[in-house]
Structure 1
Amino acid sequence: MDFSIFIHFNDLIPGLPTDLGLECLTRLPHSAHRVALRVCRQWHHLLQSDQFYIHRKKTGRTRRVTCLVQAHHDQPRHDKHTGSLPPSYGISLFDPQSMAWDRVEPVPEYPFGLPLFCQLASCDGSLVLMGGWDPASYEPLTAVFVYDFRTSEWRRGKDMPEKRSFFAIGSGRGRVYVAGGHDENKNALRSAWTYDPRRDEWAGVGPMGRERDECEGVVVGDEFWVVSGYGTERQGMFDGSVEVLDLGSGQWREVNGVWEEGRCPRSCVGVGKDGKLVNFRGLDPGLKVGVCGVAIGSRVVLSGSEYEEAAHGFYLVDMEEGQNRKLKSISVAEGFSGLVQSGCCFEI
């Protein structure tokens, strides 16, 4: 391993050569970085550097976790003046390797709860949060926030070019892709955009062939799949087709008959061993209501309940097992059993 790029970091750990000190710090779990940043100036600069991130990735020390938009409380909140309020949401982390739970710091502009129905995407070391409804006014938002795990800080990104709700989202080739959904007047959309979090820039993508409200985004290889959805005049009548964007050419194509017509795809679309789409809803008797699945390699973290107001269960399933796949129950830490609205896989 070439340690020359770290030559200006000396005596990282007193008494150890620089290369051994670096290897020790490389093995620190992410949960310890918040404390490690405060140990000394050298550690602070090292842990926040691009070189350290690249080194961890090359040596296989990064770790894939799920980032979940999750309710803080299991039961709805109540206000003495306005009555029942929806639960507030934050971002939870689940590490399927250590089976540990953690939280991401709140977005400074929303300290008491994220925008409702906001979307998450992971892109080149950054966690991107966008859209949703203001939790107080229910107004659709165009706000974009980017979280850097190296600094444990949020920054405000450039706003989305259009207001849209319940859109498809995915990431690939260093960009975040959004498509479909509906505008503030409930008109279903065909338009699509791409966001570059490093440059903080938006660029237009050619429109899809049809309107797709309440669609779901899935990235398969170098393609962004926009699954199902419905047009303005077909409220709730979910389509059985997908539109596929080639991330290289920027061209769309439509594929029919790959999703069950009439079934909502929101947060419950996966890709099986055979490359076909899988509906996580109904995969187990405990996965009928509020189902959300987040792929993490060949495995998927699933959550949902058997019926309305039932306790939410959390499971791991290996998609490589084909038709014989079995669900493994996940032990949930206290305070992490709330409803999951959406999520993504992130490589820390």
Structure 2
Amino acid sequence: MDFSNFIHFNELIPGLPTDLGLECLTRLPHSAHRVALRVCSHWHHLLQSDQFYVHRKKIGRTRRVTCLVQARDEQPRRDKLTGSLPPCYGISLFDPESMAWDRVDPVPDYPFGLPLFCQLASCDGSLVLMGGWDPASYEPLTAVFIYDFRTSEWRRGKDMPEKRSFFAIGSGLGRVYVAGGHDENKNALKSAWAYDPRSDEWTWMGPMGRERDECEGVVVGDEFWVVSGYGTERQGLFDGSAEVLDIGSGQWREVSGVWEEGRCPRSCVGVVKDGKLVNFRGLDPGLRVGVCGISVGSRVVLSGSEYEGAPHGFYLVDMEEGQNRKLRSISVTEGFSGLVQSGCCVEI
């Protein structure tokens, strides 16, 4: 890979050949990048470049972490009308390798709490946040924000073409896919769109065969699966089918019998090795309420509780075929024990 535009005639690290200097910078943990960016202009441009990210990914120096829309333990603001403390959410970052917790910087437009029920997806090392309700007015939003881990900065993306809540979301092949949910009048939707963070453009993906409110999205290979959901006239009657978008051809098909009818799929759909869908809720007796599962390779970061009001637990489980799927408890740093609403895996 050509890095000549960044290196010019200077050594990346004085006294070392260029290839060794590049190898040293490639091994820097992401937590050190904010400091490394300030060392010199060559390091700054290199570490923020697409070429460097692709190079690190190719040689296995990237790391998969989970980004979680999580309730904050502290509530920084009170509702002016009621005086009560409304729910306040931020983005927590958990690294399953180091077992370390951290926070992603707040979205500048929402410094005191994310839009309620917003959705996350990842794309080429960036985090994409979209939709949700305004935390003050509870109005549905179409706003899109992209967090670049290379620069540790948020930028505003092009708004969603339609207002929708509780929609399916997934990412693959450089784009983020959304489908279903409901509009501001509670009408279930069957429309679908794809967003490209690089071009900042939305593309119409055609309608699904049926309306699917409160559905869940998951990407399996080169397919975007929209799991379960219900129509406008069937409130809460979750369907057992899924609709599958072939990302390459743009064609939809329906698959029956892949989900238990009547079961909400939100934040608890997983995929095992043979491509079969699995419900994380009930995988263990301690995971029955407020369950959220984020796949990180063959492992899953799980959160939930046994019953309403029970302590919220965090676990790591290996979903590989042949494993006993025993849950391993995760030690939670102070301030990160709140309810997880949704999340995604990001390769940084």
TM-score over 0.5 for the pair: yes
Q: Which residue of the partner structure matches residue 158 of structure 1?
A: 158
1:159-178 alignment runs, 5 A limit: 159-178=159-178
Q: Deviations over 1:189-211 (max 9, x none)?
A: 01001111100000101100000
Structure 1, unaligned runs of 5 or more:
none
Q: Which amino acid aligns with 1:30?
A: H
The aligned counterpart of 1:285 is: 285
Quick check: 186-195 or 38-47, which moved more? Answer: 38-47
Name the residue aligned to 1:101.
Answer: 101
Code of the residue aligned with 1:243 in structure 2: it is E
Deviations, residues 49-73 of structure 1 (Å, cap 9, x unaligned): 1221122112211111111111111
How do 1:82-93 and structure 2 match up within 5 A?
Answer: 82-93=82-93
Cα RMSD of the aligned pairs, angstroms, is 1.8
8 Å contact kept, 1:163–1:183: yes
1:142-221 equivalent positions in 2, closer than 5 A: 142-221=142-221
Q: Where does residue 307 of structure 2 map in the other structure?
A: 307
Deviation of 1:93 (Å): 0.9
Q: Secondary structure at the match of 2:84?
A: strand
TM-score when normalising by structure 2:
0.95
Deviations 1:188-247 (A, max 9, x none): 001001111100000101100000000000100111000000000110010000001110
Partners of 1:52 and 1:324 in 2: CA distance: 38
Distance 2:298 2:86 in 1: 34
- Partner secondary structure for residue 155 of structure 1: strand
| Cα distance in structure 1, aligned partners of 2:104 and 2:37 | 16
| 1:249-297 deviation digits (Å, cap 9, x = unpaired) | 1111111111000000000000123321111111111111110000111
- Check the 8 A contact 2:76/2:112 in 1, yes or no: no
Correspondences of 1:255-334 after superposition (within 5 Å): 255-322=255-322, 324-334=324-334
Q: Percent identity?
A: 89
| 8 Å CA contact retained: 2:242, 2:255 | yes
Deviation at 1:3, TM superposition (A): 6.3
- Measure the CA separation in 1 of the matches of 2:7 and 2:38: 21
Whether the 8 Å CA contact 1:69–1:343 is kept in 2: the answer is yes
Count of residue pairs the alignment pairs up? 348
Give the letter for the 1:35 counterpart.
Answer: V
Displacement of 1:346 after TM fit? Answer: 0.6
Change over 3 Å in CA distance of 1:75–1:48 after alignment to 2: closer
Query: Which ranges in structure 2 are unaligned for 5 or more consecutive residues?
Result: none
State TM-score, norm by structure 1: 0.95
**Residue aligned with 1:320, SS:** coil
Separation in structure 2 between the aligned mates of residue 88 and residue 49 of structure 1, nearest angstrom: 34
Equivalent position of 1:128 in the other structure: 128
SS at match of 2:93: strand
Q: Give the superposition deviation at 1:42.
A: 1.9
Classify 1:140/1:9 alpha carbon distance in 2 versus 1 (closer, same or farther; 3 Å).
farther
Q: Which amino acid aligns with 1:344?
A: C
Bigger drift between 82-91 and 163-172 goes to: 82-91
Question: Cα distance, 1:10 vs. partner?
Answer: 2.1
- In the TM superposition, residue 321 of structure 1 has moved relative to its aligned partner by 3.7
Question: Residues 3 and 179 (structure 1 numbering): CA distance in 2 closer, same or farther, change over 3 Å?
Answer: closer
Conserved in 1, the CA contact under 8 Å of 2:6 and 2:45? no
Q: Equivalent residues in 2 for 1:109-124 (5 A)?
A: 109-124=109-124
The Cα shift of 1:46 comes to 1.4
Q: Using the alignment, how far apart are the partners of 2:180 and 2:27 within structure 1?
A: 41
Letter paired with 1:39: V
Please tell me the residue identity of whatever aligns with 1:332: V
TM-superposed deviation, 1:109: 0.3
SS of equivalent residue, structure 2 residue 147: strand
Q: Is contact 1:70–1:90 with CA below 8 Å preserved after alignment?
A: yes
**Distance in 2 (alpha carbons) for counterparts of 1:215 and 1:9:** 54
Question: For 1:70-85, what aligned pairs fall within 5 Å after superposition?
Answer: 70-73=70-73, 82-85=82-85
Distance 1:122 1:326 in 2: 27
Q: C-alpha distance in 1, partners of 2:322/2:213?
A: 30
Deviations 1:159-212 (A, max 9, x none): 000000000000111111100000000000010011111000001011000000
- Deviations, residues 301-346 of structure 1 (Å, cap 9, x unaligned): 1001112222211111111145721111111111111111111111
Q: Distance in 2 between matches of 1:240 and 1:221?
A: 21
Report deviation, 1:106.
Answer: 0.6
